[in-house]
Amino acid sequence: MKKLIPCSLILFLASCAAPNNVKKLKADLDVKYKKTEGYTHQFANVYKRPDSYPVTCEQDCYPQTQDIQCTSNMEQCEFVGQNPVVITNDSSRFTLRWIGHASFVITTPTKETILIDPVTKQFDWPVDWAFTNLGGGFYRNTPAHITENEIAAAQGVVYSHIHYDHFNKADIETIGTKTKYLTPLNFADYFPDGGYDIVEMPWYAQYSLGKTQIHFVPAHHFSNRIVVPFITNDDDETLWGGWLFENSGKKVFFAGDTGYSNHFKDIHKKYGDIDICLMPIASYHHEKYGKWYRNVHLTPEDAITAAQDMHCGVVIPWGYGNASWKMGDHTSHSALFRLLHMQKEMNSHIPLYILNEGEQVSL
């Protein structure tokens, strides 16, 4: 005969979950805070919204190309074009696998495996519940999986910011506690309890995993997690940013969600030329809030300009795709069509390496 466990015992056990181990790093340069009406615990971007942008596509921004095959107009597509040949010393190769949206698995030349913004499901509860029951939400097709071997090998997980499409508690529970989590400042409060090892970092802080140096760098974005306005909010109380990985003399940059500003030039000034740049190119279009969307997301031409600012050796774009949420996009692949077009229009000599979701490359 099975014995029933009293509800009081279940609640007690849940309340006794191991506390997380949280460490806050410091950096030589202070992050920027808002100073409105003496309210100083909200973070702020380094630069104000630009009055104008270096390049903007005004018309005929999405011409057809034989390099992308789709089942319908820029929907459910596959890149079939020829990627450039990038000659790299075998001892300094990074392997980069794109899971979808902003999620990557990186293996360094010295075999450290790092997960970037791992979100392999829909949004966390309660947002997903609201979308399901109230309608009007964003949904994605099932993305590529992070394999059990990749999870087991992961020595680190990095998050760019707190938004639902970049941070998912269900994935944290799958990944578990045997890895190090690197996050922006004030991020740990959003983790479930359970003994997670978390390092919170300000801009320009550095942390080493094995032989890989990991730097947290600025982005031009914002943060919030609470979805019930007017009752309480957490606007900009956690920091946001991008990540720079250094190993064997090579640098890989992940921009995070960001709009265009001079912070890209600042990153180049501090760290020098970047070998591989993982750049967002989507979520910039909105019929009503277009200017605001572009302030916090790169257009494809903004991504090219940013890559020029950082002297990128090669750009791998992300944000589009068959498993994207299409937040602020015409279609699943419109941003990629525009990127290929604008690379020619801007006469950019920085090569693009285009991945379909689930594919990988060693560079």
**CATH, residue 353:** 3.60.15.10
Query: pLDDT of 10-29, one tens digit each?
Result: 444 445 678 999 999 987 76
pLDDT at 285: 80
Q: Is 163 exposed, middle or buried (0-12, 13-18, 19+ CB in 10 A)?
A: buried
Q: Print the domain residue range for 178.
A: 17-45+65-362
Q: Is 297 exposed, middle or buried (0-12, 13-18, 19+ CB in 10 A)?
A: buried
Alpha-carbon span 268 to 256, nearest angstrom: 16
Domain count, the chain: 1
Residue 246 maps to a domain? yes
Residue 194 maps to a domain? yes
Residue 2 maps to a domain? no
Residue 8 maps to a domain? no
The ranges of the chain with pLDDT < 70 are 1-16, 29, 33-41, 125, 128-137, 227-232, 287-290
pLDDT at 129: 63
- φ/ψ of residue 280, rounded to 5: -75, 145
Residue 236 maps to a domain? yes
Residue 12 maps to a domain? no
Residue 52 maps to a domain? no
Residue 94 maps to a domain? yes
pLDDT at 359: 97
